[in-house]
Structure 1
Amino acid sequence: MAQKKAGEVEAFLTRPDFAYSLALFYGPDAGLVSERSAKLAKAFGVDPSDPFSAVTLSADELEKDIGRLFDEARTLSLLGGKRLVRVRGAGAGRQLAEAVGALAGERLADTLIIIEAGDLKKSAALRANAERGRHAMALPCYQDEGRALDQMIDEELSAAGLSMDREARDALKARLGADRIASRGEVAKLCLYALGAPTVTEDDVAAVVGDVSADTLDEAIDAAVSGEVRRLPHLIDRLTTSGTPTFQLHQALLRYFQQLQALREGVERRGEPVSRAVERRRPHFRRRPAMETALSAWTLSAIDARLQAIEADILMSRKDAALSLTITHRTLMDSAVEAARLKARGRR
């Protein structure tokens, strides 16, 4: 089986083994998945913008014409040399999973296929086929926590020639972690703001990192998962009228329920107390009450059903952009109503 543990992925990317001609990156943090796949592509030595040597495909389109993937994988570069094939937006598609099963058994000379997927369960066909493939590598990407987040912050500080005191670092980390690329962008912005100063302070963090829309997004997600039905419509309106794209609301809600699912497994299957599970997650103190409420109310079966509903709504909103706002509003409200129902049932 060709796979790495989450903590081994960075080491693999530092010295990648291109004997594997197919790499599957998956995880709930789309930014981290994208950043790591780009790092592997760079190490492979093919310019992603070169149309003669590189091609980027959509997983949704491949479900309609999977032969395109086989054609691109087995096509020699027009000018000779290496060839890079990237697939984005992969998930539960049956055609792509079966194609990966076939391609993972081949040694594609001078060709690298990189597939970017969302969070995949161990039983997911795409992940299973990549892990079983002789010439494929499955690389899990999970959200920035602990040392990984500190490492990213240190990289940006070092590049800017800056240092940061402990209070400022704690304040910064409390605002980061939802998305790797977005988080790195916030740290880079902070470094630019503090350039020339002896050290980055907590006041610098408060002045630059995060904004009202980000705080409101957190409030909206917390309200949805904890059953605050009456408060939620106002928060959704604030976000949408300020120009926040509806896909950000959908993705934030999806990521939250994926995190909740992992935490709930510890509660239901290992008997871990809710308070301890939430403490291990280390949410911002303002978000902790909502997470404890949600983790107490939502069962694994209810979370699984909600994840399926959210994924179906995301697909529907992509197919009909004109109705995306209506669909997103419904997704959040349905989540809040179900959370309220589960809370009420738990109090009986």
Structure 2
Amino acid sequence: MAQRKAGEVEAFLSRPDTSFPVVVLYGPDPGLVSERADKVAQLSGVDPSDPFSSVTLQADELERDIGRLFDEARTVSMFGGRRLIRVKGAGNGRNLSDAVADLADNPPEGATVVIEAGDLKKSAGLRLNAERGRGAMALPCYQDEGRSLDRMIDEELGEAGLSIDRAARETLRARLGANRLASRGEVRKLALYALGRRTVTEEDVEAIVGDVSADTVDETVDAAASGEVRLLPGLVERLTGAGTSIFQLQGALLRHFQTLQAMRAEVERGTPVPAVVERRRVHFRRKGAFEAALAAWDGAGIARALRRIEADILLSRKESALADTIMRRMLTEIGVEAARRRRARR
């Protein structure tokens, strides 16, 4: 079967191999998937900036017009040489999965097809067809752990002529997120901060590398529940860029509204909103958002919001390729509803 174990992927990518012109990369870390897809593209020898030799397609568009993929894969480059076709955002789409099976059995001559997918189950059609086809390769991309993460840290700091002491390394590893590209960016930022010195210290890491995920999750659910809709796009981008999973954010939103439901019940029994928030010992930075949300939502509204969140979490699990879209829509619509309720109470 044409596949590699997670620990074998780096070795596979260390040398060009055109015997597998169709490469499917998948995993929960979109940054790592993208970085390795860039490596495959580089090994193809095609200039990605050449519009006559390279094209990037979106998986959802191909589901509506899969013939485009075959046209691009079978087209001969105008000036000779190989062609590069990259497909982004793949998931459980039937048409793309079937197309991979066809291209794997009848590999395109002079073309490399690189497909970036999310975390595919063993039974996913796209993954199975890539593993079974004679001209395709499936490469799993999982989060940086252990030696892989240390290798990336040493690589980036080594290019800057820096070493890192043990305490600093442990602190840095704890602060890096689940997204490979975001983690690499943080290490590069650290290297720039320590430029001119020989060793990176723990103080350097604490000064320049932030652990943004936990704080940003709280900010995001607070913004949605209190109606600060304009803040949501930037907060969500920060989270996805740091590798925070969609289900982590959805779970945080669900727990937040469950907490609001219990607090709102106290308010409706006659306890003032500030007193309820104070009794719950909410962090001082979040008090304003909690008070705004409790003032905006009544018990019935919170109950409806909880049913909506639960339904969207279930839908996201069933339609994993659409999970990001479902999550963004859910946050926006809840935020809009909260803002409408706040205006109505003024």
TM superposition score normalised by structure 1:
0.71
How far 1:307 sits from its partner (Å)? 2.4
Q: How far apart in 1 are the matches of 2:200 and 2:7?
A: 29
In the aligned structure 2, how far is the partner of 1:210 from the partner of 1:239?
Answer: 25
Letter matched to residue 51 of structure 2: P
Query: Match of 2:105, SS?
Result: coil
Q: What is the match of residue 246 of structure 1?
A: 236
Q: CA deviation at 1:132?
A: 0.6
- Whether the 8 Å CA contact 1:25–1:33 is kept in 2: the answer is yes
- Please tell me whether residue 88 in structure 1 is matched to residue 98 in structure 2: no
Measured after TM superposition, the shift of residue 219 of structure 1 is 4.8
Alignment of 1:257-272 (within 5 A): none
* Larger CA deviation: 196-205 vs 245-254: 245-254
Task: Provide the rounded CA distance (Å) in 2 between the counterparts of 1:253 and 1:220.
Answer: 16
Residue by residue over 1:166-215, the C-alpha shift from the partner in whole angstroms, topping out at 9 and shown as x without a partner, is 1111110011141000000000000000011121111111111126x544
Q: Percent same amino acid among aligned pairs?
A: 57
Task: Give the corresponding residue for 1:132.
Answer: 132
Q: Identify if the C-alpha distance between structure 1 residues 306 and 107 changes in structure 2 by more than 3 Å, giving closer, same or farther.
A: closer
Quote how far apart the aligned CAs of 1:16 are.
3.1
Name which of 319, 324, 328 aligns with 1:314. 324
CA distance 1:308–1:50, change in 2 (3 Å): same
Show the counterpart of 2:216: 217
Give deviations 1:5-36, integer Å, cap 9, x for gaps.
Answer: 00000000001321111000000000000000
Q: Distance in 1 between matches of 2:194 and 2:239?
A: 31
Aligned match of 1:326 = 332
- Alignment map for 1:1-348 (pairs within 5 Å): 1-210=1-210, 213-219=212-218, 232-233=221-222, 241=231, 244-246=234-236, 249=239, 252-254=244-246, 256=248, 307-308=317-318, 312=322, 314-316=324-326, 325-327=331-333
Shift of 1:314: 3.0
Cα distance in structure 1, aligned partners of 2:4 and 2:98 = 21
Deviations 1:203-253 (A, max 9, x none): 111111126x544135579xxxxxxxxxx5368768963862435557723
Deviations 1:140-187 (A, max 9, x none): 000000010000000001100001111111110011141000000000
Letter of the 1:205 counterpart: V
Cα 1:208–1:239 shift into 2, 3 Å = farther
Q: Distance in 2 between matches of 1:249 and 1:141?
A: 19
Distance in structure 1 (CA, Å) of the matches to 2:138 and 2:64: 24
Question: Is the 1:246–1:325 Cα contact (8 Å) retained in structure 2?
Answer: no
Report the 3-state secondary structure (helix = DSSP H, G, I; strand = E; otherwise coil) of the residue aligned with 1:14.
Answer: coil
Q: Take 2:7 and 2:225, find their aligned partners in 1: how far apart are those partners? A: 36
Q: Distance in 1 between matches of 2:11 and 2:229?
A: 39
Give distance in 1, aligned partners of 2:166 and 2:217. 24
In 1: Cα distance, 2:202 partner to 2:224 partner: 28
Distance 1:78 1:306, change over 3 A: closer
SS in 1 for 2:3: coil
SS at match of 1:314: helix
Aligned residues, how many?
272
* Partners of 1:122 and 1:128 within 8 A in 2: yes
* Cα distance, 1:44 vs structure 2: 1.3
Q: 3-state SS of the aligned residue for 1:244? A: helix
What value does the CA root-mean-square deviation take over the aligned residues? 2.9
Q: Which moved more, 1:140-149 or 1:169-178?
A: 169-178
Where in structure 2 are there 5+ consecutive unaligned residues?
250-312, 337-346
Give the secondary structure class of the aligned counterpart of 1:107: coil
Residue identity opposite 1:18 in structure 2: T
Please tell me whether Structure 1 or Structure 2 has the larger radius of gyration of its CA atoms.
2
Any idea what SS the aligned residue of 2:200 has? coil
Q: Which moved more, 1:197-206 or 1:135-144?
A: 197-206
Give the deviation of 1:111 after TM superposition.
0.8
State how far apart, in whole Å, the 1-side matches of 2:323 and 2:138 are: 28
Task: Quickly say closer, same or farther: Cα 1:312–1:44, change in 2 above 3 A.
Answer: closer
Q: Contact 1:246 / 1:324 at 8 angstroms: preserved in 2?
A: no
Tell me how far 1:109 sits from its aligned partner: 1.9
Preserved CA contact (<8 Å) 1:21 1:135:
yes
SS in 2 for 1:104: helix
1:46–1:311 Cα change, 3 Å: closer
Contact kept? 1:254, 1:307, Cα under 8 Å:
no
